[in-house]
Amino acid sequence: LSPGAKMGCFTFIKVMMILFNLAIFLSGGTLLGVGIWVAVDDQSFVDIFGGLSSTVVQVVYVGYFLIVIGAILLVIGFLGCYGAQKDSKGLLMMFFSVVLIIFIAEIAAAVVALVYTGLAETLLSAVVTPLLKEKYGPDESFTHVWNVTMKEIKCCGLNNYTDFNNSTWYEDHKVYPDACLVRELLPLAHPHLRGCLPQGCFDQILEEIKTNAGVVGGVAAGIAALEIAAMVVSMYLYCHLDQK
């Protein structure tokens, strides 16, 4: 290519880099703002968006999740946008490094999730099951989170209903939680083991993921492609700054 064509290509890629990362920066700022709003004043969020938002907030603590994601996107967007606009090799390298670290972390998390699913279940059981036995019932917030989770996912306990055996709730009420009982089979006044949902929440979540594996895989592949493209573009700009 002629010097003019190379310069035009460089300028085009630079502008696209700036616009792309500006969009990321603005998205991160929006998510961060919404996350802070939800974390600080979740009741207003519920009033505006309705009861579904209350369920989501209680189950996954969406406010804190949005704060973390928003902060990460702000950093990435700033490094990419400002680094490209100022022709800063240092900022471009930082942008590349941050995206690379996130990319590697995602790959590692995917490998661990695939290879060590059984280990994850064992570790979660060792931590969560004692908490269920101790806090379900006495701790209102903990109890509400689990009630919503079990009703929405249609599961009982982490592994199954036996997680509630010898629990504080069962010792006090002599019944399994309402969310565990299949109402169509038995009235709640006369609970019986056969009236409990057989599947635990861990297995049910895995089943939901497998059912929607195509969607999950597509989203993951799209995110990975964007990250790779961002790293390639940042390296192109980094390597061609001296030739500009």
Examine residue 232 and state whether it is found in any structural domain, yes or no.
yes
Q: What is the residue whose two structure tokens read 């089943």? A: 207
Asked if residue 92 is part of any domain, the answer here is no
Q: What separation in angstroms does the CA of 162 have from each of 65, 130, 239?
A: 31, 12, 60
Answer yes or no: do 51 and 154 share one domain. Answer: no
Q: Determine, yes or no, domain membership for 67.
A: yes
Same domain, 210 and 156: yes
Q: What per-residue confidence (pLDDT) applies to 192?
A: 47
42 in the same domain as 2: yes
User: 219 and 160 in one domain?
Assistant: yes
Q: State how far the alpha carbon of 26 is from the alpha carbons of 136, 138, 151, 219, 222, in Å.
A: 40, 42, 36, 21, 20
The Cα 223–Cα 24 span in angstroms is 13
Q: Say how many C-beta atoms besides its own lie within 10 A of residue 18's C-beta.
A: 16
Please report, in tens digits, the pLDDT of each residue of the chain (244 residues total): 556 666 778 888 888 888 888 988 898 888 888 888 777 766 665 555 544 444 444 534 667 777 888 899 899 999 998 888 888 889 999 999 999 999 998 888 777 767 766 666 677 778 888 888 888 888 888 888 888 888 888 888 888 888 888 888 888 888 888 888 765 544 444 444 556 667 788 888 777 777 766 776 787 788 888 889 889 999 888 888 766 5
- Considering the domain architecture, whether residues 74 and 121 belong to the same structural domain is answered as no
Number of structural domains (the chain) is 2
Distance CA 24, CA 121 (A): 35
| Residue 105 located in a structural domain | no
Out of 51, 86, 121, a domain closes at 86
Q: Containing domain of residue 200, as a range?
A: 111-243
